[in-house]
């Protein structure tokens, strides 16, 4: 892990350090284009072929039904079942609290405007399953979809080598009342949900994190379906001052590093001592991780920045726009107003990022690669559309009419003007 001194960094270097561009992005784009075209042209046949090529499995069929899921779910260990139940309750509680009915507003006498939410009817959820199968993502996506009232929820996740799914995902399906899991991974799953195949229903919006193939596919199908956001390789930025605990900081950095070799774990600190001790702790903790090779590579692609003060640290973080921001400092309260760009924030020395990954209640599907500059993470809002309504009474028509007539005339749109004039003139027909 390289260490930089913020005062020595040129603007160009900061930009470079904040970019998540990887050299073979072009290659991924070409591969994904081919995959999308195959699914578009050959439907299910392409999906069977990709399962064989990428997941090394000869599938008999492309999904598991409710009976099969129930029988696989029966194998879940009791402690895992309890943990999933607890996480589900917290996620449900937090997302239910996001349900808000907005007030009607009288913008001028007799002119009333308001917004109502309607669920997106058909949604597609992608649950990663390459380097690790993520039942937590199933909870994070399906829970708000159900609360929002989405009618059709299509779930895709890569198949295991036995052509099935694991007991944790199956248990989530049973718990959530989802009666099918499509055994499809990668860009091909995204293409299947975007265009539909003989077996996979086409959806209106695709949600979920994934590797570079999945994320590239999501960005490429956007002229056909909506997507939640680019939620690619996980990343974390930790701001630590001298009140931080280096072993906690190291643990948080490694937690995101173990997701994949292309994950990033960035440390920004006001203290040289904290940086040195954290790096030592990373070595110690890394050695006992089962996924140490993956995490070590991600740590190699990451870096630390030494800053003069916490305000400078926040400046760097806002430029980087991390998926996860950890404020490992007792002064976290005063930093909150300075946060401009971040997917989700973890406050103080006792709040591990893993709490948000699994069970605190916030959603872990978050924008990566600097997209937290413009996107929010998944929430209940992502599963609904907001429809605006307006109603004009006689008083309202009289009040607003002349304004609309004048503006329509200014734009040279006579029919627009007439739609008002005809009503103003025909008082008896109102
Ligand atoms: N941003 C977020 O909110 C968030 C949340 C959870 C996980 N993640 C990230 O999701 C990612 C999950 O990635 P994963 O790989 O474990 O699972 P994945 O399910 O995203 O990808 C696995 C699939 O990738 C496809 N694939 C693999 N190699 C390929 C190749 N060479 N060419 C074409 N397709 C190929 C295969 O179809 C395979 O089924 C990780 O990077 C993790 O950090 C992000
Ligand atoms: N950290 C991931 C989001 O970037 C979510 C996750 C799932 N399981 C563990 N972690
Ligand atoms: Zn994680």
Q: Read off the pLDDT of residues 258-270 as tens digits, 9 standing for 90 and up.
A: 999 999 999 999 9
Contact (CB, 8 A) for 343 and 357: no
> What does the pLDDT read at residue 426?
86
Q: Is 391 a catalytic residue?
A: no
pLDDT band at 22 (very low <50, low <70, confident <90, very high): low
> What does the pLDDT read at residue 66?
97
Q: Read off the pLDDT of residues 285-308 as tens digits, 9 standing for 90 and up.
A: 999 999 999 999 999 999 999 999
Q: Report the separation in Å between the CA atom of 163 and the middle of ligand 1, taken as the mean of its atom positions.
A: 18
Q: Examine the pLDDT at 33 and tell me if it is beyond 90.
A: yes
Q: Is 324 a catalytic residue?
A: yes
> What does the pLDDT read at residue 430?
62
Q: Report the separation in Å between the CA atom of 64 and the middle of ligand 1, taken as the mean of its atom positions.
A: 21
Q: Read off the pLDDT of residues 153-196 as tens digits, 9 standing for 90 and up.
A: 999 999 999 999 999 999 999 999 999 999 999 999 999 999 99
Backbone phi and psi for residue 378, each to the nearest 5 degrees, phi listed first = -65, 140
31: CB partners within 8 A, 6+ apart: 187, 213
> What does the pLDDT read at residue 24?
73
> What does the pLDDT read at residue 54?
95
Ligand closest to CA 156: 1
Start-to-end Cα distance in the chain:
74
Q: Read off the pLDDT of residues 222-257 as tens digits, 9 standing for 90 and up.
A: 999 999 999 889 999 999 999 999 999 999 999 999
Domains (range + CATH), the chain: 2-20+233-361 (3.40.50.1980), 25-100+114-228 (3.40.50.1980), 393-429 (no CATH)
Q: Examine the pLDDT at 329 and tell me if it is beyond 90.
A: yes
Length of the chain measured in residues: 430
> What does the pLDDT read at residue 131?
84
Query: What average pLDDT score do residues 31-42 get?
Result: 98
pLDDT band at 429 (very low <50, low <70, confident <90, very high): low
Query: What is the residue-averaged pLDDT of the chain?
Result: 96
Q: Report the separation in Å between the CA atom of 324 and the middle of ligand 3, taken as the mean of its atom positions.
A: 10
Q: Which long-range contacts (CB under 8 A, 24 or more apart) does 195-199 make?
A: 195/39, 195/40, 195/221, 195/224, 197/39, 197/43, 197/44, 197/46, 197/47, 198/43, 198/44, 199/43, 199/44, 199/47, 199/61, 199/62, 199/63
The reply to whether ligand 2 has any atom less than 6 angstroms from the CB of 357 is: yes
Instruction: Report residues whose beta carbon is within 6 angstroms of any ligand 1 atom.
Output: 31, 54-55, 128-132, 134, 137, 158, 185-187, 209-211, 213-214, 231-234, 259-260, 263, 323, 364-366, 368
Q: Read off the pLDDT of residues 357-401 as tens digits, 9 standing for 90 and up.
A: 999 999 999 999 999 999 999 999 999 999 999 999 999 999 999
Q: What is the ipTM of this complex?
A: 0.97
Query: CA 8, CA 312: separation in Å to the nearest integer?
Result: 13
Q: Which of 37, 48, 210 has the most ligand 1 atoms within 8 A of CB, as the residue to mutate?
A: 210
**Which residue's alpha carbon is nearest to atom 6 within ligand 2?**
357
pTM: 0.95
Q: Which of 84, 131, 133, 136 has the most ligand 2 atoms within 8 A of CB, as the residue to mutate?
A: 136
């Amino acid at each position: 892990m390289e260490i930089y001194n913020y005062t020595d960094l040129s603007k160009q270097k900061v930009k470079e350090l904040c970019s998540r561009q990887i050299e073979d992005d072009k290659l991924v784009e070409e591969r994904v284009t081919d995959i999308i075209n195959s699914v578009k042209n050959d439907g299910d046949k392409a999906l069977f072929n990709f399962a064989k090529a990428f997941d090394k499995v000869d599938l008999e069929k492309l999904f598991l039904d409710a009976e099969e899921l129930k029988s696989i779910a029966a194998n879940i260990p009791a402690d895992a079942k309890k943990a999933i139940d607890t996480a589900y309750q917290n996620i449900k509680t937090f997302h239910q609290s996001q349900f808000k009915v907005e007030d009607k507003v009288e913008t001028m006498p007799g002119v009333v405007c308001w917004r109502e939410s309607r669920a997106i009817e058909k949604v597609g959820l992608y649950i990663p399953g390459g380097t690790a199968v993520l039942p937590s993502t199933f909870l994070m996506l399906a829970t708000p979809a159900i609360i929002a009232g989405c009618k059709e929820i299509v779930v895709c996740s890569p198949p295991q080598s036995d052509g099935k799914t694991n007991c944790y995902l199956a248990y989530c399906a049973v718990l959530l009342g989802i009666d099918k899991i499509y055994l499809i991974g990668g860009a091909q799953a995204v293409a299947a949900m975007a265009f539909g195949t003989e077996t996979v229903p086409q959806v209106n919006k695709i949600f979920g994190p994934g590797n570079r193939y999945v994320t590239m596919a999501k960005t490429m199908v956007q002229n056909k379906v909506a997507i939640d956001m680019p939620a690619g390789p996980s990343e974390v930025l930790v701001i630590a001052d001298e009140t931080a605990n280096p072993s906690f900081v190291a643990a948080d950095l490694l937690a995101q590093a173990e997701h994949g070799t292309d994950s990033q774990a960035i440390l920004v600190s006001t203290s040289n001592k904290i940086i040195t001790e954290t790096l030592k702790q990373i070595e110690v903790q890394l050695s006992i991780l089962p996924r140490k090779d993956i995490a070590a590579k991600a740590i190699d692609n990451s870096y630390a920045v030494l800053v003069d003060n916490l305000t400078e640290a926040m400046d760097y973080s806002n430029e980087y726009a991390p998926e996860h921001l950890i404020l490992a400092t007792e002064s976290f309260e005063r930093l909150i107003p300075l946060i401009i760009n971040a997917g989700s924030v973890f406050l103080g020395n006792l709040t591990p990022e893993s709490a948000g990954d699994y069970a605190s209640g916030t959603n872990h599907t978050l924008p990566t690669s600097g997209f937290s500059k413009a996107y929010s993470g998944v929430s209940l809002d992502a599963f609904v559309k907001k429809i605006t309504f307006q109603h004009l009474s006689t008083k309202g028509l009289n009040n607003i009419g002349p304004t609309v007539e004048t503006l329509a005339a200014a734009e040279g749109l006579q029919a627009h003007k007439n739609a008002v004039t005809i009503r103003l003139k025909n008082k008896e027909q109102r």
